Every structure is written in C-alpha cells, then in structure tokens.
Amino acid sequence: MTFARDRYGVAIVGAGIVGLFTAYHLRRAGAGPVVVVDRGFLSAGGSGRNGGGVRQQWETRATIRLAKESVAAYRRFGTEFGYNIWFRQGGYLFLADTAAALARLRTVHDVVRSEGLGSRLLGPEEVGRHVAGIAPGAVVGGAYLATDGTLYPFPAVWGLYETVRALGAEVVLGADATGVIVRDGRVAGLATSAGTITTPTIVNAAGGWSGEFSRRAGLDVPNVASRHEILATEPLKPFLDPMVVRPSDGLYFSQTMRGEIVGGVTVPHAPGTARGVPSSPRFLTAMARALVDLLPRLRDVGILRAWTGFYDDTPDGFPVLGEDPRLPGFVHANGFGGHGFMLAPAASRRAAATILGERPDLDPAEFGPARFAAGPGARAVEGLQLG
C-alpha cells in the first residue's frame, strides 16, 4: 500500500489493538489527519496471537485502575463499535501451589479489594468447585475475581480497524517503519518502506518491535521482546468458566465458547525478534505436562494448533506511556508485556491525551519514559506479568 498524502498530524506505528485504539481516541477528538502504519497484515502481531484474557487482578493500584477502565470499555464494545467480541466475564482464578504462592495471592487480593473489586480468596475445595478434576494436592488455594474474563481478539481488532477508517484515519499495512526524521531536535517525519511522510508526532505502538523502533529513532530504551507460545486443543464439552492462571510457572488456560482449551506456559527463549515466531517441541512437552499434572482428565486430549507471539517487556512491568523528553513529538504507547489487549482501551486514551495536550493523570514515575534514566531505584514494580 501507499500513503494517500505526504503530511499527517499524527503517525502511529503499529496497527494492533493499542495503535488502533489510539487512532480512535484521536479521531473522536477531531485530531488529524492520522495515519496508522504496520509492517504486517492486520492481526499479524501480538493482537492476533494472544489468549484473549482481560483481568483486573494486579499487584499495583495503578495497573488495577487501568484494567478496571478497560473492562468497562470492553463491556460496551459491541454497542460502541458494532462488533461482537464475545466478552465473557467468567472470572479469573489464580492458583497457589505453595504456601509462599498463596501469601503472594493474599497480598494481591488485599490490593484488589481495596480498589472496590470483589476478589475472593479460596481454599482447595472452593478451587475445585470452579475447576472440576484438579489433581489431589495440586493446589493449596487461590484468588478469584468474577468480573474478569475473556474475549475474542480478532473481532475487536477488525471492529476498531473499520471504525477508525470510517472516522477518517488512514491505515497502511505492509509498510515497515524504518526510521524517524528529526529536525531541530524534534520529530519531523517518518521513514517507511512505502515512502517517507512528514509529521510532527509519532506514536510507537509497535508491540514486540517497539524497542527496535525506538532504537531506530536513536533512543536508548530498556524494552525487550520475549517469545511466548500458546496452543489450542480439540473441542471438549464445556466444563470451565474462568481463566486459570498459576503464577509459579506461568501456566494459564481457558475454555472457549466452542470448547477448546487455549493457553500457554512459560518456556524461556532467547530475547529479541530475530528468530521469528516458530513453535517449539519443548513448549508442547512443557504445556502438556503442566496441564495433565493439574487436570489428569486432559491426558488424552489432542492438540489442534500452536503459535507464538512476542511480549514487550520492561524492567518494572509497567507500560511506557507518554512523550519522550529526549525527542519531542515521539510518544510511547508500548511496554505492555503480554497484556496490551487487557490495558489497551485505558492506556491508549492516555497516549491520545498526551498528543492532544491534555494534563496526564498517570504518575510519570510509574509510566513515563523518563523513569528509566535514573537507573534502578526504589520505585514500584508490577510483577504479575502473566496470563
């Protein structure tokens, strides 16, 4: 594809859920012209490769508040955009397999409750009522929040894509953002494989490639792309309502409305995007063992498919939101780990507000791009980066 014009008010790099939501907020506010650029096809990145989980159980108040706003946004998505994303609030159940893990969940539970959410601590028998067939002794307890849930990522991306185009934003797919044009110390344009455009504002919403793109702009950022794998089984008779997460090994899974079990488990890979997104036999073995050890009833279930995507990790587990003071006009909307879909509605609204000149309501010490300049220190850390 090519660009319809040579000058834009805002250029957004990344046509995933964060980039498209940012374009939506900007166009709703009358900002423009806006163009969204993506190196691949729609849903080629993390927005088309995730498990669809949306939760409000986090370790820090700041993340919980973004998540609460995002859940409310997804609840009204069908009315607002005309696309059914099948948002099903079947809850999230965090499992503890040791006393130390349960103590951590108790701390999370207390913070979540203090933010007005109905988190519940469960004993092993109560966990068993939510997830039938758990192996004896596999859990010592859990934490459950009924208003968490799952959605189908694809109609959410498609709905936003159609809406932002109807609002006048341009979306150019198959165009790699290769660099930033800088003039007088600030953003002046965007270079892409489809040509160079003039713009005073660039939003980096490139997901797993955001660190790479920031570095192309001459910025030293700590974002690291990490490869994570996921699979889907053959359909089963429905037996599971919540998304199940075990923090000790990163296991997570849910059952779709068609009956498949969809989930993953943490298997270390070398950082970076250079090796692409192939699936590995090591993941299939680890995931099969984790599922069967927890739920023996799944021993004979067949795996239909497996795929891979990138997390966009930061050292403290918080996303990076806001204008970079080292390069005026360069706005970050990245660093979400594997949780861009969960936080996109609320986080993208803040990214758009920055561009519109509105006063931010996020603590820059937690979310701002300048927070890493001082090096490691006594600042908040969001450690519940899984599932």
Look up the CATH number of the domain holding residue 113. 3.30.9.10
**Does residue 57 sit within a domain?**
no
The tens digit of pLDDT for each residue in 53-83 reads: 999 999 999 999 999 999 999 999 999 999 9
- Which is nearest to 172 in space by CA: 47, 48, 46, 39? 39
- Cα-flanking dihedrals φ and ψ of residue 358, to 5°? -85, 155
Q: Are residues 204 and 242 in the same domain?
A: no
- Which is nearest to 152 in space by CA: 57, 260, 278? 260
Q: Are residues 209 and 324 in the same domain?
A: yes
Q: Are residues 217 and 230 in the same domain?
A: no
- Cα-flanking dihedrals φ and ψ of residue 102, to 5°? -70, -35
- Cα-flanking dihedrals φ and ψ of residue 315, to 5°? -65, -30
What residues make up the domain containing 130? 89-148+224-313
Q: Choose one of 268, 292, 313: the last residue of a domain.
A: 313
Q: Kindly report the CATH number assigned to the domain that includes residue 15.
A: 3.50.50.60
Reply yes or no: is the peptide bond before residue 200 cis, omega within 30 of 0: no
- In whole angstroms, what is the distance from residue 80 CA to residue 97 CA? 41
End-to-end CA distance of the chain: 35
Q: Are residues 242 and 267 in the same domain?
A: yes
Name the E strands within the chain: 10-13, 34-38, 53-54, 92-96, 120-122, 141-145, 149-150, 170-173, 177-183, 186-192, 195-198, 202-204, 224-233, 243-246, 251-255, 261-264, 303-313, 320-323, 330-334
Q: Choose one of 313, 328, 352: the last residue of a domain.
A: 313
The tens digit of pLDDT for each residue in 271-282 reads: 999 888 889 999
Counting the structural domains of the chain, the total is 2
Question: Coil, strand or helix: which one is 168?
Answer: coil
Q: Are residues 163 and 291 in the same domain?
A: no
The two structure tokens encoding residue 308: 């891979």
pLDDT tens digits in sequence order for the chain, 387 residues long: 789 999 999 999 999 999 999 999 999 999 989 999 999 999 999 999 999 999 999 999 999 999 999 999 999 999 999 999 999 999 999 999 999 999 999 999 999 999 999 999 999 999 999 999 999 999 999 999 999 999 999 999 999 999 999 999 999 999 999 999 999 999 999 999 999 999 999 999 999 999 999 999 999 999 999 999 999 999 999 999 999 999 999 999 999 999 999 999 999 999 999 888 889 999 999 999 999 999 999 999 999 999 999 999 999 999 999 999 999 999 999 999 999 999 999 999 999 999 999 988 999 999 999 999 876 665 788 988 775
Q: Are residues 233 and 217 in the same domain?
A: no
Q: Choose one of 267, 285, 313: the last residue of a domain.
A: 313
Q: Are residues 167 and 307 in the same domain?
A: no
